[in-house]
Structure 1
Amino acid sequence: MTHYTKAALRRAALPRRQALSRAEVTQRSQQLCDQLFRHFLVGQWRWLHVFLPLALKNEPDTWPLIHRVWAEALPLRLAAPVVQPDVISLRHYELTPTTPLRANRWGIPEPVADPTTEVAPAQLEAVLVPLLACDQQGQRVGYGGGFYDRFLAQCQPKAVFIGLNILDEAPVAAIADVLPTDVALHACLTPSRVWNFG
């Protein structure tokens, strides 16, 4: 079995993702949205956590998915993350059509923090997780900051963690340098299929 390091997977994935055209990012993001609604009982969730995309890095565009939830008037409510001043943790706020947004230091849109709309991780039933690559055990590679591992560890045991990979690639066999604090995904969506883990 081939084992890949997170750094090697990150180095390989970033240029491949950066090479995608805007049209490809748009098309693949819509396919990811379709996969989520086709394979998961989205309408039965009460709270879904979504990341807002960093367009400069060709992250999956989650806005089609967000607008679909709003358009279908599902009972589902959405939450989005805000990076905290300590630059190691996240807090989460409800995302509605009227939520004001502002870009953080990395250019990622975030809800303007409002204590009345804060959502606790324990309330979330599903979390969409950004990633660059993952393995067949559901371990993922992000940018290396550890934000999501710390956040996912706070979620309820029944919460479903779903990675979104805009690169239409199968999970690698195994990531070599998984840490005890890393939290595995339950599934990963690519534009063409769904990978389920465990």
Structure 2
Amino acid sequence: MLGLGAKKADLRRTALARRLALDAGEVASRSDQLRENLFREFPVAQWQWLHLFLPLGKRNEPDTWNVIRWVWGEELSLRLAAPVVQPDGVSLKHYELLPDTQLTRNRWGIDEPVPDPITAPEVSPGVLDAVLVPLLAVDRTGQRVGYGGGFYDRFLAQCRPGTQFIGLNLLDDEPIERIADVLPTDVPLTACITPDRVWQF
């Protein structure tokens, strides 16, 4: 674990290498633990809208499909949304994710909803109750390290006050003391879920 005042690039490199070292069974079991912690520690059934990322398997991201299948299987009234990277390469739009939503794979290998008025209508960030956020590391103030593209910081800034920003981390790491190179445009998380526990910020 890197300590006080670690730089994002160092944290990103170290955490990604550790996550890529997990085998498929570990990714699956840790993803199950993340889902269990989410439903145990948060009022998910009371939310109207949950936004989640679709996992990039080659980077061993948390498997959010187990959250999606659980919501659909339990027939919760909760509605789901997922992001689509726009042609400008810097912004996201968001579309409802339904059992019959068609998916397409973008240039990074991430599945995205195919926009459709019936099976994948557009969703405004302003309606979201909670967002599950990908990350590689987090500090004690909720600042996170992602892949460095800034997609989520721009997106989270569009959400209404009170929206919960919940990081998902497959590694059982405590938050580090401080990320040294936080930017003014970085949006902190309200919580982070690991397989071990939930951290509130």
Q: Tell me which interval the TM-score lies in, with the shorter structure as reference length.
A: over 0.9
Q: Distance in 2 between matches of 1:141 and 1:112?
A: 28
One-letter code aligned to 1:135: D
TM-score relative to the length of structure 1: 0.98
Residues 1:156 and 2:160 aligned together: yes
Q: Identify the match of residue 71 of structure 2 among 66, 69, 72.
A: 69
Superimposed CA distance per residue, residues 95-119 of structure 1 (whole angstroms, 9 cap, x where no aligned partner): 0111000110010000002256000
Counterpart position of 1:171: 175
One-letter code aligned to 1:97: P
Q: Counterparts in 2 of 1:91-102, with a 5 A limit?
A: 91-102=93-104
C-alpha RMSD of matched pairs (Å): 0.9
One-letter code aligned to 2:188: A
Q: Which 4+ stretches in 1 moved above 4 angstroms?
A: none
SS at match of 2:189: coil
TM-score relative to the length of structure 2: 0.96
Q: Identify the match of residue 26 of structure 2 among 6, 14, 24.
A: 24
Aligned length in residues = 197
Identity %: 66
CA 1:126–1:59: 2 relative to 1, 3 Å: same
Gaps of 5+ in 1: none
Q: Counterparts in 2 of 1:48-197, with a 5 A limit?
A: 48-115=50-117, 117-197=121-201
Gaps of 5+ in 2: none
Superimposed CA distance per residue, residues 145-176 of structure 1 (whole angstroms, 9 cap, x where no aligned partner): 00000000000001000000011111100000
One-letter code aligned to 1:118: E
Counterpart position of 1:40: 42
One-letter code aligned to 2:9: A
Structure 1 window deviating more from structure 2 (113-122 vs 45-54): it is: 113-122
Q: Distance in 2 between matches of 1:143 and 1:121?
A: 21
Q: Distance in 1 between matches of 2:65 and 2:181?
A: 33
SS at match of 2:31: helix
SS at match of 1:80: strand
